[in-house]
Structure 1
């Protein structure tokens, strides 16, 4: 009984309450859900809450992914989208921090939110250098790390765009 409950909880976490079953492009759906959740978390607790939630979702997601993929042939099934949540939230941290520093609503910085989403999906899909390395690990940590690294790349790209727009232009 306890093992079944644990497996069900892991499945719910790994699929982000079923968002991973949406088709087509479950990773994009997972990222879209992540953006909505990030906005909500930021609205409730600001940048600190989003940063804390990002760390928590990484570790809980790693656990859930390990449970769901244990003994499976596919180390990264498409319905597992908790990794997209972690990566997408990392991509949005730059914009969340900017809103925090300016005492602005996160939605006032919507171009940064959109850029973070687009850059994250681009890096997650194309898997450049370290993203691809993490993906090729073939384990639950690799599933999480490829999106974390894609999120870092997206955060950097979003930050560069913000500097170009606000400082250079």
Structure 2
């Protein structure tokens, strides 16, 4: 494995933290997401997410080439991409309405918790993607988990602001 692929796959070494490297990877993704959003709003954040997905796919393929384990625990770039997808549900409206994204702090907690829930349980399509057994599957299961988490954030926001009127 090349040093560059290892650095990307472990998100600059975060994946080497124990226990629960996936949770550490998701947590480390949060301040970087905030910084990207502050620098360029949703457009920059979305482009960065796509770039992380592409780089992560490459780095995961390189890191797992010739091994029996298609998804070693130290590879957390997939968690970064998935967590960022979950945060799109905050970045888009914050950018569109000129809201300080830190004011949406309950959404950050929901995005993190829901993403981890879907990523760990591998429910439905998340599990299907994970069972591909290749580098694309490693990345896709977290993208799907992130999409489910984003939908969950939107539903919870709708319930809180719409149904409850708060």
Summarize deviations over 1:41-78 as a string: whole Å, max 9, x none: 00111111111111111011000000000001100000
Q: Runs (4+) of structure 1 moved beyond 4 Å? A: none
Normalised by the length of structure 1, the TM-score is: 0.95
Deviation for aligned residue 1:101: 2.1
Deviation for aligned residue 1:87: 0.2
Map of 1:48 onto structure 2: 43
What is the Cα-based RMSD across aligned positions, in Å?
0.8
Summarize deviations over 1:10-53 as a string: whole Å, max 9, x none: 00000000000001100000000111110110011111111111
Q: Distance in 1 between matches of 2:96 and 2:159?
A: 18
Aligned residues: 164
Residue pairs, 1:121-136, within 5 angstroms: 121-136=116-131
Normalised by the length of structure 2, the TM-score is: 0.97
Deviation for aligned residue 1:168: 1.2
Q: Runs of 5+ in structure 1 lacking a partner?
A: none
Q: Distance in 2 between matches of 1:40 and 1:17?
A: 17
Q: Runs of 5+ in structure 2 lacking a partner?
A: none
Residue pairs, 1:84-163, within 5 angstroms: 84-163=79-158
Among residues 7, 26, 29, which one is paired with 2:24 in the alignment? 29
Deviation for aligned residue 1:102: 2.2
